Structure 1
Amino acid sequence: MKISVVMAAYNSQATIGEAIESFLAQDHPEKELIVIDGASQDDTRSIVEGFSSPAIRFLSERDKGIYDALNKGIALAEGDVVGLLHTDDLFARKNVLSRVAEALGSGEVDGAYGDLEYVARDRPSSVIRYWRAGAYSRDLLRKGWMPPHPTLFLRSGVFEKHGNYDVSFRISADYEAILRWLTKAELQLAYIPEVLVRMRVGGESNRSLGRIIRKSREDLRAIRRHGIGGCGVLLAKNASKLGQFTSRDGYQDMKDN
């Protein structure tokens, strides 16, 4: 099973090297990394090209934002399975792709996901939040649940049949796509109860009050588009994050709420 990992980059010289190293360290033999760079003005290109790895493919050109870049990468992917790795993120251990291949090996599920750690930007070993995703059931969508997007791997056919990211959503295209895949396409997902990705805090969606407001509006548009509710779902989605700050087991299973 070949696994394609797509990475969207722009002026990412500070962190992209560590992200790529975490990909190259994966013990799964059949893998590729597709780096889509938005014509960076810093040393991003030279860092990527410096790895000189046949497992890395690099494209640099102007794009219309992160989701446009991810769509380009998905279109180029040659793997049976496609996942993401942002330039700020790290695979949590060397066997992440192997665990994904194992979860999808039976052919009975369309994708797999796991848990996520939010870590300090300058010290990835320092965990700030822990997102224990829990097992998926469709009823959870109305309680604001979603799988951690950076940990989600899908069979390539999902994108071909059910579409990529809707770039009219500037911040929440991942949430809209996940709702589309889980409601309209009714995908079956396997849960891997392990931390798959460490994500540095300070992402695009939370860098200012204006972006937080825009994200909430886009989340609500996605919720209404896919018929899972309204403002109550949005409130539940945001409230579910609070437990992630308290302890490693702080994220309560929504089935119990």
Structure 2
Amino acid sequence: MKIENQINNSLINKPLVSIVMPSFNQVEFIERSILSIINQNYSNIELIIIDGGSNDGTIDVINKYMDHVSYFISEPDEGQSDALNKGFSRAKGEIYGWLNSDDLYLPGAIHQVVEEFIKCSEFKIIFGDWLSIDEYDDIIDYNHAFDFNLNHFKYEGFHLNSQAMFWKSDVHKEFGGFNKNLNNTMDYQMIVEFGVKNGQEKFHRIPKSLAAFRRHPKQKTTGMSPRVIAEHRAIAKTYGFEDKFHLSGKLKRFYFRFRRGYWYAKRGGMSNLLRRLKRLPSVSE
């Protein structure tokens, strides 16, 4: 099944924002995700939904909102990376975003991001803070993003969230695409490549919460399982930082762990620092 609608490009001075939503059997959450886009106070949005052949009622939910969907297809695919590649190949906007079908954009997020891109045209990637929510949309945690540092991201880990990140179309055109062999870490791959090809100075943080990342029992995102570690090794090999898994990489991770602590304290105070440090894995992991 495939449906394609015409995009309204008549809005003057409002860049088209393309949002790609990969989906597979998320009937419990996808309506809330779609509504978080429809209810934005920004009208020039292109919503592209790539479904992997859902059979749980997801398609019925999507059909309710087809007037707001620019492109939709439901067919078996090779996983989330494949769905994302299909979706972004259809994008026509000047600004791109990726929202999973169980996550949410917060009210006003897209308008804030567009304003920031217009005001700070030298930046190519803009990101903000994000919430963690449960299956009932109750807030579990407030997450503060840090100013982007590519080596910190490569060696020590995430300090931004892809659901609270937007980028210019030319950034994606230079991106080699999502590796279809990655089942869990395609967001890590994307951000590493954005940093390598554009430079960390093209990333811009705004101190506002833009999205909500959902934590629930059925979600795919997990801890550092053997498969996730193998994917991290593959990404490190592709982008030339295989020393991440050697002694020199562990020393770098130790250094960037201090940077993480600094940002935890700077953005959320000492109580935030102490609370979050208890959760962090060892630098040797």
Q: What is the TM-score normalised by the length of structure 2?
A: 0.76
Q: Which residue of 1 aligns with 2:67?
A: 53
SS in 2 for 1:62: coil
Cα deviations by residue, 1:142-168 (Å, 9 ceiling, x for unpaired): 443442111121111112122221112
Question: What is the one-letter code of the residue matched to 1:70?
Answer: L
In structure 2, the partner of 1:255 is none
Match of 2:188 in 1: 175
* Aligned match of 1:204: 220
1:212-251 equivalences in 2 (<5 Å) = 212-228=225-241, 229-231=243-245, 232=250, 250=272
Indicate if the aligned counterparts of 2:49 and 2:69 stay in contact, CA closer than 8 A: no
Higher Rg of the two aligned structures: 2
- Show the counterpart of 1:118: 132
The 1-side partners of 2:183 and 2:30 are apart by 22
User: 1:181 Cα deviation (Å)?
Assistant: 1.4
User: Residue 56 of structure 2 aligns to a residue in which SS?
Assistant: coil
- Flag the 1:166–1:234 CA change in 2: closer, same or farther, 3 A: farther
Larger RCO (alpha carbons 8 Å, 6+ apart):
1
Does the C-alpha gap of structure 1 residues 225 and 146 become closer, same or farther in structure 2, counting only changes over 3 Å? farther
What residue ranges of structure 2 are gaps of 5+ in the alignment?
A: 1-14, 275-285
Q: Which of 25, 44, 51 is matched with 1:37 structurally?
A: 51
Instruction: Kindly state the Cα deviation for residue 212 of structure 1 after the two structures are TM-superposed.
Output: 2.2
CA distance in 1, matches of 2:244, 2:44: 42
> What SS is found at the alignment partner of 2:225?
helix
Once superposed, which parts of structure 1, at least 4 consecutive aligned residues long, lie more than 4 Å away?
Answer: 233-241
Inter-CA distance 146–184: structure 2 relative to 1 (3 Å threshold): farther
Match of 1:151 in 2: 164
Cα separation, partners in 2 of 1:21 and 1:145, compared to 1, 3 Å: closer
TM-score normalised according to structure 1 size: 0.84
Contact kept? 1:31, 1:55, Cα under 8 Å:
no
Could you tell me how far apart the structure 2 residues matched to 1:216 and 1:133 are?
23
Gaps of 5+ in 1: 253-257
In structure 1, the partner of 2:144 is 132
Tell me the equivalent position of 2:279. none
- 168, 177, 199: which is aligned to 1:164? 177
Give the direction of change, closer, same or farther, for the CA distance of 1:75–1:101 in structure 2 (3 Å limit).
same
Partner secondary structure for residue 183 of structure 2: coil
What is the CA distance between 1:131 and its match in structure 2?
Answer: 2.2
Give the structure 1 partner of residue 26 of structure 2.
Answer: 12
Identity, % of aligned positions: 24
Instruction: Write out aligned runs for 1:59-70 (5 A).
Output: 59-70=73-84
